[in-house]
Amino acid sequence: MAPRSSLRLKIVTSETTTHTHCPYCAFQCGVVMTDRADHAGVIDVRPDDDFPVNRGQMCIKGFTSAALLDHPERLTVPKIRGRAGRLLPARWDTALDFVAERLLRLRELHGPAALAAFGSGALTNEKTYLLGKFARLALQSPNVDYNGRYCMSSAAAGQNKAFGIDRGLPFPVSDIAHTKALLLWGANCAETLPPIMQWIFAQRDNGGALIVVDPRRTDTARAAALHLQPTPGSDLALANGLLYLALEEKLIDTAYIAARTDGFDDLRRAVLSYHPAHVERLTGVSTQDQLKAVRLLAEAPSSMLLSGRGPEQQSKGADTVLSFINLMLALGKVGKPYSGYGCLTGQGNGQGGREHGQKADQLPGYRHIEDAEHRAAIARVWGIDPAELPAKGKSAYELLDALGPEGGIRALLVFGSNVAVASPNALNVERRLASLDLLVVCDAFVNETARDAHVLLPVAQFAEEEGTMTNLEGRVILRQKVRPAPPEVKTDIEIFCELARRLGAGRHFQYTSAEQVFDELRRATAGARADYSGITYDKIRRNRGVFWPCPSVEHPGTPRLFAERFHHPNGRARFHAVHHRPAAELPDDAYPFYFTTGRYKEHYNSGAQTRRVSKLEEAKPEPKVEVHPRLAARLGVVEGDSLLVESRRGAVTFRVAVVPSIRPDTLFAPFHWGGRKAANVLTVPALDPTSRMPEFKVCAVRARRVSESN
């Protein structure tokens, strides 16, 4: 973790100080940004000592975030691809007229479903809300989805099934410090959420036990009292095995189960097939360690299980999350003080991004697009007939896989997502993008997705606009404007409004500020599961954020869920009998090793921002593939050699890092790079049947040493 000091980029006189939030992960650290000159100057960034989530701590990405604002590679004027294939500067009216005319022509020729939009968990709540509205009213298309489908969709699906509601953490992050047993499952917080480690270390210092489940011995796992290192893709079997042992050892809370849950008898019968010896064969985790883990969780007066992308980014991710919830419900821990299950949301607005309508199956407030009452509620707010709302569209990877004449989607607008790097089977996505009749990318930088774009539209960055975000706790916070955007840059909200007017839907998009959009969002979520109707900008400022649900202006917000009831109609949680099944692709004679992906602390998601920051690029200039010493000897490689890693979808050459912290049957590489360094060239697009999450964390590969000359 970076020291508590500001990164001084330039010393100048006169200053304006603004309290706002980091542009990166879902922790949404409070930051203080000081603009020491006019809007062309450079900004100092330091952590906010008083924000209750990060409490004066911040990672290196946050400290260097201002470097992006005046970056020389920044996109500052619209560009249109000319006849010679080059992107040429254009006036805004010219660019927007070009986009609208192409969209209208394609819609007339091929129907509304030929148009699509792709959003992001980095967009503010206001943009998320407007993107869903824009797709359905201006494009008139069912096809809108976002990159959060790649991150939190399995946890959301599991929590909605079990609890009737999905909020990543159903309690404030500060509760972590007080739980007596904490299990982090597939979550390498030391790399992905560094400031959260203060709460994890406090938990340990308060006498709590830390358990980590991860195929790699990460920095997070090194801090644990117990580390379980399962075979990739076997998490569900391990969770069911822990529940089997809880039953056998009489560790379950029968009174809690009877009073607060439904469906336990079916679950009990299902887990009887998960004898610890069988689970040990499936997972590689010893019966002794299984028993240690479940006893720590059950016998502690309070305990939490928090999951990350490891078990969720699988073709059975939603069922795996249900197996975690089954375990914690059976132990009687959910809804009690300093106890429960939670998902460690990844993207900056990963929580709000999945609530307000940029998902193919969703309307604002976590309403379902196929529910007649939900459609009617949103139609009233939007002033339309419910029949005007399209049906459910395609999920993220399915949408991208349908691009081009073959799949039927002829035009795509991308907002804040680098899909060419972030998607599985990345070479297929690149081919699909190149086949479009119209590709429009709205971003601050020219990323890999924009390589074949017909139009680039420059947008404001985090410090240049206002809007709300919802962090991993469900705390709605306010990103405040620090300084104006460059003169020829627009906000996404302005782009939605101007394109909607040209598409004939202007009356639905007459906004002059983000706060005006938020006020409509409040009305649209009233009475829904994710109810923001009682939240205002002023209320957020006064309270350093407001937890949803917040159904009235007088309501204080809801920091903790489930103390009295769950969100199913009868107030009870639901068990779900779920069974382990193999990953879609397992090692075999041709491809004998597991391959899995993850992150470096210096970089964020597709790296479109962080690879441009010199301090971060110098710290981690390239991805390296982690190889266990025994496997390195078998492959004939040493530290620094080049290793060609191949899957059935493509091949990537990585520099080798020989580490004892990974399983001998597994290779690991980060996914922050594109092109010839893209780990997602290798990954398999097998989708979870419920969440439509791709299986990023498990695929089969082979590997061989290559010389520098070859």
CATH assignment at residue 57: 2.20.25.90
| Domain end point (choices 451, 484, 513) | 513
Same domain, 53 and 119: no
Query: How confident is the model over 494-505, as a mean pLDDT?
Result: 98
Look at residue 382 and tell me if it is in a domain: yes
**What pLDDT was estimated at residue 313?**
96
CATH number at residue 378: 3.40.50.740
List pLDDT tens digits, range 440-454. 999 999 999 999 999
Same domain, 358 and 330: no
Q: Please spell the DSSP secondary structure of 413-450, one letter per residue.
A: EEES--HHHHSSSHHHHHHHHHT-SEEEEEESS--GGG
Show the beta-strand stretches assigned E in 147-256: 181-185, 209-213, 226-228
Query: Letter for the amino acid at 630?
Result: R
Q: Which residue has the tokens 């946890």?
A: 155
Same domain, 168 and 139: no
Q: Within its chain, how far is the Cα of 171 from the centroid? A: 19
CATH number at residue 268: 3.40.228.10
> 499 pLDDT band (50/70/90 cuts)?
very high
Rounded to whole angstroms, the maximal C-alpha distance in the chain is 73
How much of the chain, in percent, has pLDDT values that exceed 90?
95
Look at residue 670 and tell me if it is in a domain: yes
Question: Which among 550, 615, 462, 539 has a CA at the least distance from the CA of 28?
Answer: 462
Checking if the pLDDT of 372 tops 50, the result is: yes
Query: How confident is the model over 37-46, as a mean pLDDT?
Result: 72
Neighbours of 379 (CB within 10 A): 16
- Between CA 585 and CA 457 the distance in angstroms is 39
Residue 218, CA distances (Å) to 105, 143, 228, 330, 674 in order = 52, 38, 12, 29, 24
Same domain, 338 and 393: no
Neighbours of 76 (CB within 10 A): 12
**What pLDDT was estimated at residue 2?**
44
Same domain, 354 and 436: yes
Checking if the pLDDT of 506 tops 70, the result is: yes
**What pLDDT was estimated at residue 73?**
95
List pLDDT tens digits, range 543-564. 999 999 999 999 999 999 999 9
Look at residue 673 and tell me if it is in a domain: yes
Same domain, 359 and 504: yes
**What pLDDT was estimated at residue 107?**
98
Question: Which among 101, 160, 197 has a CA at the least distance from the CA of 499?
Answer: 101
Same domain, 20 and 168: no
Q: Which residue has the tokens 């490689």?
A: 637
Q: Where are the alpha helices (DSSP H) in 461-590?
A: 492-502, 514-525, 537-543
> 525 pLDDT band (50/70/90 cuts)?
very high
Residue 426, CA distances (Å) to 344, 418, 675 in order = 25, 11, 9
| Domain end point (choices 328, 343, 358) | 343
> 36 pLDDT band (50/70/90 cuts)?
confident
Contacts 24+ apart (CB under 8 A), 104-111: 104/503, 106/410, 106/411, 106/437, 106/438, 107/139, 107/140, 110/408, 110/410
- Between CA 399 and CA 141 the distance in angstroms is 12
Which DSSP symbol is given to 24? S
Query: How confident is the model over 618-632, as a mean pLDDT?
Result: 97
Look at residue 578 and tell me if it is in a domain: no
Checking if the pLDDT of 5 tops 50, the result is: no
Task: Please confirm whether the linkage preceding 559 is cis (ω < 30° from 0).
Answer: no
Query: How confident is the model over 380-395, as a mean pLDDT?
Result: 98
Which DSSP symbol is given to 149? G
Q: Residue 62: give the domain boundaries.
A: 16-68
List pLDDT tens digits, range 288-309. 999 999 999 999 999 999 999 9
Query: How confident is the model over 13-40, as a mean pLDDT?
Result: 85
Same domain, 163 and 308: yes
Phi, psi of 56 (to 5 degrees): 85, 5
List pLDDT tens digits, range 400-419. 999 999 999 999 999 999 99
Question: Which among 183, 178, 175 has a CA at the least distance from the CA of 206?
Answer: 178
Look at residue 80 and tell me if it is in a domain: no
Query: How confident is the model over 45-53, as a mean pLDDT?
Result: 96
Same domain, 113 and 162: no
Query: How confident is the model over 31-56, as a mean pLDDT?
Result: 86
Q: Which of 78-87, 321-330, 504-513 has the lowest mean pLDDT?
A: 78-87
- Between CA 99 and CA 438 the distance in angstroms is 8
- Between CA 683 and CA 697 the distance in angstroms is 8
> 83 pLDDT band (50/70/90 cuts)?
confident
Checking if the pLDDT of 10 tops 70, the result is: no
> 7 pLDDT band (50/70/90 cuts)?
very low
Checking if the pLDDT of 101 tops 70, the result is: yes
pTM of the full structure: 0.95
List pLDDT tens digits, range 108-135. 999 999 999 999 999 999 999 999 999 9
Q: Residue 101: CA atoms inside 13 Å, Cβ hemisphere, count?
A: 7
Same domain, 356 and 376: yes
- Between CA 187 and CA 663 the distance in angstroms is 17
Same domain, 287 and 412: no
Query: How confident is the model over 56-66, as a mean pLDDT?
Result: 96
**What pLDDT was estimated at residue 193?**
94
> 15 pLDDT band (50/70/90 cuts)?
confident
Q: Yes or no: say if 595 and 410 are a contact pair by the CB < 8 Å rule.
A: no
Look at residue 395 and tell me if it is in a domain: yes
Same domain, 249 and 392: no
CATH number at residue 665: 2.40.40.20
Cβ burial, residue 225 (10 Å; 0-12/13-18/19+): middle
Instruction: Provide the 3-class DSSP secondary structure of residue 545.
Output: coil
Look at residue 4 and tell me if it is in a domain: no
Overall domain count for the chain: 4
Q: Yes or no: say if 553 and 539 are a contact pair by the CB < 8 Å rule.
A: yes
Average pLDDT, the chain: 95
Q: Which residue has the tokens 């117990």?
A: 226
Look at residue 470 and tell me if it is in a domain: yes
